[in-house]
Amino acid sequence: MLSEIQVAVDVGSTRHRVAIGAPDGKLLAEFDIPHTPAGFGEFFRRIERLSQQRPVAVAMEGYNGYARPLDRMILGQGFRLYSVNNLKLARYKEIFPAPAKTDAIDGRKILELFRLRDHVPLARDVLQEVAPRCRPPTRSLSG
């Protein structure tokens, strides 16, 4: 099985900071996207180009609902989606501090959590997998 490409999204109200990491921990790309259809298109194009047919896992904050509709689009692509628990992320950053608070550093911290999730319980608790919703079967009104 191919190792997954890991994508971190630091969610903002009008722009999102994205960091993409290779399975070995190498940072492949960092960029901002606007919270627009064009920005979402750019997000998926870059992931497609960098993933080279490998599985993709995306971790993103759900801050004040600004993750929508990107979160649904990610699941629609068949990617694994993780919600970042902001309180536990803040605790993680207290224990393993970064030099400053920036969107780029937050994105890199989320990528770090991907690498540590199988080894450090706190890292595993910060990332919570989101299961795709199953639609209930539709009923016919005629019978």
Q: Is residue 117 part of a domain?
A: yes
pLDDT per residue as tens digits for the range 66-102? 888 999 999 999 999 999 888 887 777 777 776 666 6
141, part of any domain: no
In this structure, the strands spanning 5-10 and 15-21 are antiparallel
pLDDT at residue 2, rounded to an integer? 63
Residue 51 pLDDT more than 80?
Answer: yes
Identity of the amino acid at 56: V
More confident position, 34 or 53: 34
Within a domain: 136: no
Is residue 3 in some structural domain?
no
Give the residue numbers spanning the domain of 44: 11-130
- Tell me which of 71 and 62 has the higher pLDDT: 71
Instruction: Tell me the C-alpha distance between 121 and 123, whole Å.
Output: 5
Supply the CATH number for residue 69's domain. Answer: 3.30.420
What span, in angstroms and rounded, lies between the C-alpha atoms of 40 and 16?
A: 10
Domain assignment present for residue 2? The answer is no
> What values do phi and psi take at 99, rounded to 5?
-65, -25
The number of folded domains in the chain is 1
Amino acid at 116: L
pTM: 0.84
Query: How confident is the prediction for the chain on average, in pLDDT?
Result: 84
